[in-house]
Amino acid sequence: MTKHSVIFFDIDGTLLNHKKELPQSTKEAIFKLKEQGHIVAIATGRAPFMFADLRKELGIDTFVSYNGQYVVLNGEVLYTNPLNTSSLLKLTEAALLNNHPVVYMDHEDMRANVPEHAYIKESIDTLKIGMFPTHDPSYHEGRDLYQTLLFCPEGEEQQYEQEFSDFDFVRWHPVSVDILPRGGSKAHGIEQILKKLGVSNEDIYAFGDGLNDIEMLTAVHNSVAMGNAEDSVKKVAKYVTKSVEDNGITHGLKMVGLLS
């Protein structure tokens, strides 16, 4: 190909398999894209500090993190969209009454408002990031937070959805929900990068597998759902590739013509 494209990849279930490992075929495909002059970027719900090692391994310095709330282009912060502090304080107070802990997250760290809780350990452990939030109930004071984790069983987040219209709630684990600014999404974060780069929509590609990828896969012209994605995700994608466990990234890049 002579044209240079921008390709956004989700992390969990897309770049990384279910053991949180980077398949060798995926690594080789990423470097082939870069050799061809394409821009390879990450679009994830994770915090920047949760995938610093992966960025270093793949040589990636452009990313959309926190589902669009903290965007970096070529190593420089391009766009931020923090949570409403007063609404977050009220939500935290309500959550404490329900024994639903929260974890505050900025671009550098994450801190829990309770010393320990089984739900926090259960869900954070699945990320296999080698770190755990420490206790600091005042971490939200005097700093911008781009995402907060609410820990509660499925369905119990509905009471917060009804009361706090400033936020969107996206479940990522049976006992944990992402709290994001209303209307924030990977798609919106990607839009900030595309406006800066001036790239046409036909030269944009995105790969994902989760519910938080739906807006991204709907908005991006060349969208690819992983074979391990839920049906609702596959329905909005232009293409469906193989599972992450079955060289899905390499197969998908060949499907869309980026690799031969």
CATH code for the domain of 89: 3.30.1240.10
Largest CA distance in the chain: 59
Task: Answer yes or no: is pLDDT of 201 > 90.
Answer: no
Q: Does 102 share its domain with 190?
A: no
Same domain, 58 and 110: no
* Final residue before a domain boundary, out of 131, 164, 181: 181
Task: For residues 25 and 45, state if they share a domain.
Answer: yes
| Catalytic residue chosen out of the listed positions 10, 12, 178, 209 | 10
Is residue 2 pLDDT above 90, yes or no? Answer: no
Condensed to tens digits (0 to 9), the pLDDT of residues 8-57 reads 999 999 999 999 999 999 999 999 999 999 999 999 999 999 999 999 99
In order of 31, 166, 221, 253, the CA distances from 127 in angstroms are 25, 27, 30, 26
Same domain, 39 and 166: no
pTM of the model: 0.91
Residues 99 and 63 in one domain: no
User: What amino acid occupies position 90?
Assistant: K
Q: Are residues 101 and 171 in the same domain?
A: yes
Last residue of a domain, one of 181, 211, 234: 181
Q: What CATH number is given to the structural domain containing 234? A: 3.40.50.1000
Domain boundary among 146, 181, 216: 181
Q: Do the domain assignments include residue 1?
A: no
What local confidence, expressed as pLDDT, does residue 41 receive? 98
- Asked whether the predicted pLDDT for residue 170 surpasses 50, the reply is yes
Q: Which two tokens stand for residue 219?
A: 């908005």
- Pair (46, 70) in one structural domain: yes
Q: How many domains does the chain have?
A: 2
12 and 50 share one domain: yes
DSSP SS3 for 69: coil
Domain enclosing residue 203, as ranges: 6-80+184-255
Residue 1 clears pLDDT 50, i.e. is over it:
no
211 and 148 housed in the same domain: no
Residue 206 CA: distances (Å) to CA of 23, 82, 201, 225? 18, 24, 11, 8
Would residue 10 show up in a list of annotated catalytic residues for this protein?
yes
- Considering the domain architecture, whether residues 195 and 68 belong to the same structural domain is answered as yes
Compute the mean pLDDT over every residue in the chain, rounded to the nearest whole number.
95
Do 224 and 252 meet the contact criterion of CB atoms below 8 Å apart?
yes
